[in-house]
Amino acid sequence: MSQAIVTPLSQALAEGKLTREELKGFMQRSDGPGLRHLTLWVLVLAGTTTLVTLAWNSWLIWPAMFLQGIVLVHHFSLQHECVHYTVFRTRWLNDLVGQICGLIIILPHRFFRYEHCDHHTYTQLTGEDPELIPLPETMGEYLLYLSALPYWRGKFTELFRHASGNLSETELRFIPKVEHQAAYRDARRMLAIYAAIFLAMAITGWWGLIWYWFIPLFLGEPVMRFIRMTEHVGRPTVAQMSENTRTNLVSAPWSFLCWNMNYHAEHHYVASVPFHALPRLHEKLKDHIHVEPGGYLAAHREILRQIWHKEEA
């Protein structure tokens, strides 16, 4: 007789640290928290945009654009929550905001939804998880990944390949056949929008979006690569979520920017719990999951330790 798999969620329920009524309450969705968070988000983005404007004729525009970029790349976190339909209770709001985020960071929303579904189904399973980030073999590979150069090469290759009507073997596995044409249209529409934006700037002679959007996006992406590594890299490549996913305890500003996705193990256990309830769920599950109290930096120290051991072997 096969044994039932014991999970942190089932352990917490069995020990009385979490009741089914509490879990049901955590999963309740609402427009209010998402709209309040989004309002503050827009204000922060307005603030960094103002910094770029004030530093326009100074070398300070580069650190200002870097700060702008950090906020811009974190639209990934917001889009991620929209993919799960947990930012708002109103479904079309999740779709609308997710589409806007995808346009900002060059990630078609429909494609990401299907890709991310397989990530949750096959988390950390080599050859199955389409979002798996392998543990780098060397320091050179580690630094190359953090540079975001491989990310952008893959992203643009992917976008143009979709626009030309082609999906990779991996993508054919997680995108339903009935959605293939829609995925192609999404990529073509996205490229058309970018082309229209550049044409408008060329006609008007105002190239401001280069400095407010595109350069900051590329400057900020290494920060997102740094953060994305802390979710699973260095954890065992096994199906057991108590082992393959890491929760990072970070400061309030970082938690705000990532829409509480630093509580990543909790999110993987109950993906239907909205972002605003994840800190409360963490208190219930923290004794049964892998938690990194030192946050992102400590997670990278562990990753680097594993890389150094590999190089010494």
* Helix axes of 75-83 and 61-73: crossing angle, nearest 10 degrees: 10
Token pair in block for residue 103: 């346009």
Identify whether the C-beta of residue 304 lies closer than 8 Å to the C-beta of residue 137.
no
Contact 45, 199 (CB under 8 A): no
pLDDT of residue 2: 37
pLDDT averaged over every residue in the chain: 94
Looking at residue 272, its pLDDT comes to 93
pLDDT at 13: 65
β-pairing verdict for 291-292 and 247-248: parallel
How many residues in the chain? 313
299 to 1, 73, 77, 143, 232: CA distances (angstroms): 38, 20, 19, 15, 10
Query: What percent of the chain stands above pLDDT 70?
Result: 94
The answer to whether residues 27 and 273 touch, using CB atoms and an 8 Å cutoff, is yes
The predicted-structure confidence for 149-178, as pLDDT tens digits, reads as follows 999 999 999 999 999 999 999 999 999 999
| Token couple for 159 | 């976008």
Q: pLDDT tens for residues 226-269?
A: 999 999 999 999 988 889 999 999 999 999 999 999 999 999 99
Tokens read off for 279: 């800190």
- Neighbouring CB atoms inside 10 A of 220's CB total 22
Q: What's the pLDDT band for 142 if we cut at 50, 70, 90?
A: very high
- Does the structure show a pLDDT above 70 at 7? no
pLDDT tens-digit series, residues 72-88? 999 999 999 999 999 99
CA distance 276 to 49: 26
Q: By mean pLDDT, which of 96-105, 109-118, 166-175, 303-312 is the weakest?
A: 303-312
* Helix ranges restricted to H, the chain: 8-15, 20-26, 31-54, 61-73, 75-83, 91-105, 109-121, 139-147, 149-163, 169-174, 180-204, 208-209, 215-232, 241-244, 252-257, 264-269, 278-285, 295-312
Residue 271 CA to residue 264 CA, distance in Å, equals 10
Q: What is the pLDDT of residues 21-45, one digit of tens each?
A: 888 999 999 999 999 999 999 999 9
- Rg of the chain, C-alpha, whole Å: 20
Q: Please state the domain extents for the chain.
A: 8-312
Q: Distance (Å, rounded) from C-alpha 257 to C-alpha 28?
A: 22
- CA separation for the pair 75, 217 (Å, rounded): 10
Cα separation, 241 vs 15, in Å, equals 19
